[in-house]
Amino acid sequence: MTHLLTLPTLLLALAACVASTTVSAHGDVTPQAVDTTGLPALGKEWRAENPFRANEPAVKIGTSAYNQNCARCHGLEAISGGIAPDLRKLDNECATQKDAAKKAACVKEIDEFFLTTVRQGRTRNGAVYMPPFEGVMNQEAIWAIKAYLETRRDKPL
């Protein structure tokens, strides 16, 4: 008799368990949309360079967008735990550049590299190391994340 009574409870518990496993597995890989209300609209054309450098509202939005979409792999506050590259070091090579024009060119090159990587993600030998974010985040959100990362630089420019 006790068995008959506990069976539905057991099934419910099992169902809840399966559901939560599914939710967390997907929650870990599904990129999150980012609300960029308040930032200047950048239009459809992708910019070659970050239009939001040192833009305070962009840094703020970029901080939460980073936490939602990037931190689980690249680490909280951009401090990598080792599973993905440390994004504070992204433009380290530009910091040591003395020539102002060369430094500016270096920063722009890193911007392009950053944009391409975030839009396309990273797949190697069929394995997704990083999901693509194009179509999930608009370019305002992507540049806002870059603006945030620029406040976390390992070697300030």
| Contacts with ligand HEC, residue ranges (CB under 6 A) | 69-70, 72-74, 84-85, 87, 114, 117-118, 122, 124, 129-130, 133, 145
Cα-flanking dihedrals φ and ψ of residue 65, to 5°? -65, -40
C-alpha 17/C-alpha 80 separation (Å) is 31
> Of the two residues 15 and 120, which places its CB atom closer to ligand HEC in the complex?
120
* Residue 51 CB, nearest approach to ligand HEC (Å): 16
* Identity of the residue numbered 64: S
Instruction: Rank residues 86 and 104 by Cβ distance to ligand HEC and give the closer one.
Output: 86
Shortest distance, position 68 Cβ to ligand HEC, whole Å: 8
Strands (E), the chain: 122-124, 127-130
Q: Which is nearer to ligand HEC, 71 or 104 (CB)?
A: 71
What the block records as the tokens of 62 is 């970029």
| Distance of closest approach, residue 77 Cβ to ligand HEC, in angstroms | 14
Nearer to ligand HEC, 39 or 145 (CB): 145
Comparing CB distances to ligand HEC, the nearer of 89 and 103 is 89
The DSSP annotation for 57-71 comes to HHHHHHHHHHHHHTH
Show the tokens assigned to 31.
């990129």
Least distance from ligand HEC to the Cβ atom of residue 125, Å: 10
Q: CB of 129 within 8 A of CB of 117?
A: no
Q: Which residue has the tokens 């396309």?
A: 120
Q: How far is the CB of 5 from ligand HEC (least distance, A)?
A: 44
